[in-house]
């Protein structure tokens, strides 16, 4: 997975030390080759779903 983020930034995301901005969510979804689903009524509110094969 390539995000263009350095190791420190990835660690901060993993530790919930970064607010999930839309550009960050889009970057991660692209790196996962997935779609981002945002639904504040569910937990977790942000999910990544793999694209259909």
Asked if residue 2 is part of any domain, the answer here is: no
In this prediction, residue 37 carries a pLDDT of: 93
Asked if residue 1 is part of any domain, the answer here is: no
In this prediction, residue 35 carries a pLDDT of: 94
Instruction: State the pLDDT confidence band at 34, using cuts at 50, 70 and 90.
Output: very high
DSSP state of 7: H
Asked if residue 22 is part of any domain, the answer here is: yes
Q: Is it the case that residue 10 has pLDDT exceeding 70?
A: yes
Size of the chain in residues? 53
Asked if residue 28 is part of any domain, the answer here is: yes
Q: Which helix (H) or strand (E) holds 48?
A: strand 46-50
Asked if residue 42 is part of any domain, the answer here is: yes
- The reported pTM is 0.69
Number of structural domains in the chain = 1
Average pLDDT of the chain is 85
Q: Please give the residue that has the higher pLDDT: either 27 or 53.
A: 27
Which residue(s) pair with 48 in the sheet?
36
In this prediction, residue 49 carries a pLDDT of: 92
CA distance 47 to 40: 11
Asked if residue 37 is part of any domain, the answer here is: yes
Domain holding 15, by residue range, is 7-50
Find all residues with CB under 8 Å of 6, minimum gap 6, and list them: none
Asked if residue 34 is part of any domain, the answer here is: yes
């Amino acid at each position: 997975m390539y995000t263009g983020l350095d190791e420190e930034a990835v660690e901060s995301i993993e530790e919930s030390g970064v607010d999930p901005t839309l550009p960050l969510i889009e970057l991660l979804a692209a790196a996962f080759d997935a779609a981002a689903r945002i639904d504040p009524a569910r937990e977790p509110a942000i999910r990544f779903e793999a694209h259909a094969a």
